[in-house]
Amino acid sequence: NAGVTQTPKFQVLKTGQSMTLQCAQDMNHEYMSWYRQDPGMGLRLIHYSVGAGITDQGEVPNGYNVSRSTTEDFPLRLLSAAPSQTSVYFCASSPPRSGNEQFFGPGTRLTVL
């Protein structure tokens, strides 16, 4: 099993550009989520999904969209990048409902100029 994979590992964008961060898992986990991690702020939940076709907002959803058309994939879209979105983005997955361990991808380091 590859676990949770994320692409790209690094990305530099200009203000106003859009892009999609990819996340995939091969563990058949129903729960997937996106976090951003900033210095001194810890991990903050952006969006999450409890299964294919179901998504919901987390703590800091503004400026981001998600969709979940399959169990495996959970892409995160930045609609119009802003410097405030410079961060490290982690995708995670876990089995549903039971509060189990979350498995994280290696992260995407995004810089918005």
> Of residues 21, 29, 31, 110, which one binds other proteins by CB under 8 A?
31
Three-state DSSP state, 103? strand
Which lies closer to other proteins via its Cβ, residue 81 or residue 91? Answer: 91
| Min separation Cβ 107 and other proteins, Å | 6
Which lies closer to other proteins via its Cβ, residue 14 or residue 98? Answer: 98
Q: Are 91 and 104 in contact (CB under 8 A)?
A: yes
**73: DSSP letter:** B
| Min separation Cβ 21 and other proteins, Å | 14
Exposure class string for 4-38: b at 16+ Cβ within 10 A, else e: bebeeeebebeeeeeeebebbbeeebbbbbbbbee
| Min separation Cβ 79 and other proteins, Å | 24
Residues of this chain that interact with other proteins (CB under 8 A) are: 31, 33, 35, 40-45, 48, 50, 58, 90, 96-99, 101-102, 104-107
